[in-house]
Amino acid sequence: MAILHIDGDGFFASCEISLNPKLKGKPVVTGQERGIATAMSPEAKALGIHRGMPIFEIKKLFPTAVIVNSNYHTYGMFATRMYDIVRRFTERVEEYSIDECFAILEDKDREHTARLIKTTLGRELGMTFSVGVAPTKVLAKVASKWNKPDGFTILDNSSIHDFLKNLAVGKVWGIGPQTSHHLHSLGVVTALDFIERPERWIRENLSSPMLETWYELKGTPVYKVHESDDIQKSIQKTRTFPHTSEKKIILSELSHNVEGACIHARRDKLETKRIYYFLKTQEFRYKRCEIPLDVPTNDPMTILSLVQSTFDTLYKSGVEYRATGVTLSELRPTSLNQTDLFGEVVKNLKLKKIFDVVDKIDRKFGTGTVSLASSLTSVGRRHLHPTRRLNLPFMGEVV
């Protein structure tokens, strides 16, 4: 068994080029509506344009750049298509974010399957993807980043050491700038330096998550691929927003994610037994939390209260964040509800009546007509940054 990581190259910009082939070969930049670059084509990167660069500066220094508004609804449709293609080859897929996913490959010819997935994605979506195959999630993630764009890197236990000796410790997934600086001060410069330190040293000098990263880099799996048997076993909602460190705004974005996911679940008469949510920093680093539920629900207030109770374990004051996401997993039909000892199911049934009315109003006047108060900050900010709407055509084979 091996873990595959797929990462869309300059995903937002690539979606724009796929929709408008006239942009192919041009320095395309998304993020006009936010005032900063969010994704770039290879040609834009070659000019020196980077993520987070102010749009006004790009226009001044690089007048040939084609700058467009972002359309996250369209990008989400491309992402869904990406997940569907990967599931043709393996059902064991984790929809990690809008431009990347993990999958488990069980067949013996893993390299052939991984290359076939990569080729199929490129042919049908009209863009390039970078792929990493390795024994663990962390190794697969760093492998996919190694030869971007359009890269393919496969690691096995015999090649891990040679790979890690050329990998800066700060490039490891989960090791942020502060931890990297701390490791440098302790003489740890490469990922190989890191795994060659004894376990006791890791425990004494670093936080507990770094021990998990240490195991993963050594080829010992710690992080599971959160797979689903089919696409209806999970519902994911993500949002990208102008970067901010303000806690209230980030929680409001999460609240909007939760509401959207629950609307989807109620529409399909499903409830969740386990939720995941993540925060994505301006430096594109992820923090993730998993919450099991005693009683299944599709009530956004119940889920949001759990998110709020664990939020401070992920959020750090002063850090700039740019995206949030929520996944409802272990879904089951609402008809499977049974009476519980503490009356939670009865309480959920009462809330169901309330949200039945909310859903009727939304169907008549539009989704989001009735919203949780905790989502209003998010909705208000989104109105200040309108995006254009595109009709996504059929994405068959691209020739």
> Are residue 142 and residue 191 in the same domain, yes or no?
no
> Are residue 41 and residue 102 in the same domain, yes or no?
yes
State which of 129, 156, 183 marks the end of a domain: 156
> Are residue 173 and residue 255 in the same domain, yes or no?
no
The structure tokens 């996913």 sit at 101
Highest mean pLDDT of the ranges 72-76, 270-274, 353-357: 270-274
**Cα 104 versus chain centre, distance:** 17
Average pLDDT of every residue of the chain: 84
Q: Is residue 399 part of a domain?
A: no
> Are residue 371 and residue 253 in the same domain, yes or no?
yes
Q: What is the pLDDT of residue 4?
A: 97
Interstrand relation of 129-134 and 152-154 (parallel, antiparallel or unpaired):
parallel
Q: Is the pLDDT of residue 399 over 80?
A: no
> Are residue 142 and residue 61 in the same domain, yes or no?
yes
Residue 213's alpha-carbon distances to 102, 137, 314, 392, in angstroms, are: 17, 10, 17, 39
Q: Is the pLDDT of residue 334 over 80?
A: no
Under the banding of pLDDT at 50, 70 and 90, the label for residue 379 is very low
Q: Is residue 396 part of a domain?
A: no
Q: Is residue 397 part of a domain?
A: no
DSSP 103-167: EEE-SS-HHHHHHHHHHHHHHHHSS-EEEEEESSHHHHHHHHHHT-SS-EEE--TTTHHHHHTTS
Mean pLDDT of 252-270: 87
What number of helices (H) and strands (E) belong to the chain? 15, 13
Q: Domain of 190: which CATH number? A: 1.10.150.20
Q: Is the pLDDT of residue 204 over 50?
A: yes
Q: What is the pLDDT of residue 100?
A: 93
User: Dihedral angle at the C-alpha atoms of 45, 46, 48, 49, nearest 10 degrees?
Assistant: -30
What is the per-residue pLDDT across 77-115, written as a single tens digit (0 to 9) for each? 899 899 999 999 998 999 888 899 999 998 778 899 999
State the residue range of the domain holding 184.
167-227
Q: Which two tokens stand for residue 94?
A: 């984790």
Q: What is the pLDDT of residue 393?
A: 40
Q: Is the pLDDT of residue 349 over 90?
A: no
Q: Is the pLDDT of residue 224 over 50?
A: yes
Q: Is residue 313 part of a domain?
A: yes
331 vs 250, residue with greater confidence: 250
Q: Rounded to two decimals, what is the model's pTM? A: 0.63
Q: Is residue 192 part of a domain?
A: yes
CA–CA gap between residue 124 and residue 178 (Å, rounded) = 40
Q: Is residue 13 part of a domain?
A: yes
Q: Is the pLDDT of residue 269 over 90?
A: no
State which of 131, 156, 181 marks the end of a domain: 156
Strand order in the sheet with 39-40: 39-40, 28-30, 66-68
Q: Which two tokens stand for residue 387?
A: 């995006």
CA–CA gap between residue 132 and residue 106 (Å, rounded) = 15
**Largest Cα–Cα separation, the chain:** 67
A 10 A CB-CB count for 43 gives 20
A 10 A CB-CB count for 136 gives 22
Q: Is residue 392 part of a domain?
A: no
Contact by Cβ (8 Å): 281, 322: yes
What is the per-residue pLDDT across 145-193, written as a single tens digit (0 to 9) for each? 999 999 999 999 999 999 999 999 999 998 888 889 999 999 999 999 9
> Are residue 8 and residue 144 in the same domain, yes or no?
yes
The answer to whether residue 100 is catalytic is yes
> Are residue 223 and residue 238 in the same domain, yes or no?
no
State which of 186, 211, 227 marks the end of a domain: 227
Q: Domain of 335: which CATH number? A: 3.30.1490.100
> Are residue 363 and residue 245 in the same domain, yes or no?
yes
Which residues in 244-271 are b (16+ Cβ under 10 Å) and which e?
Answer: eeeeebbbbbbbbbbbbbbbebbeeebb
> Are residue 127 and residue 197 in the same domain, yes or no?
no
Mean pLDDT of 361-370: 53
Domain count, the chain: 3
> Are residue 180 and residue 286 in the same domain, yes or no?
no
What is the per-residue pLDDT across 12-66, written as a single tens digit (0 to 9) for each? 999 999 999 999 999 999 998 888 898 999 999 999 999 889 999 999 999 999 9
Q: Which of 16, 100, 253, 259 is catalytic?
A: 100
Amino acid identity at 71: N
> Are residue 235 and residue 211 in the same domain, yes or no?
no
Q: Is residue 393 part of a domain?
A: no
CA–CA gap between residue 5 and residue 132 (Å, rounded) = 5
> Are residue 68 and residue 194 in the same domain, yes or no?
no
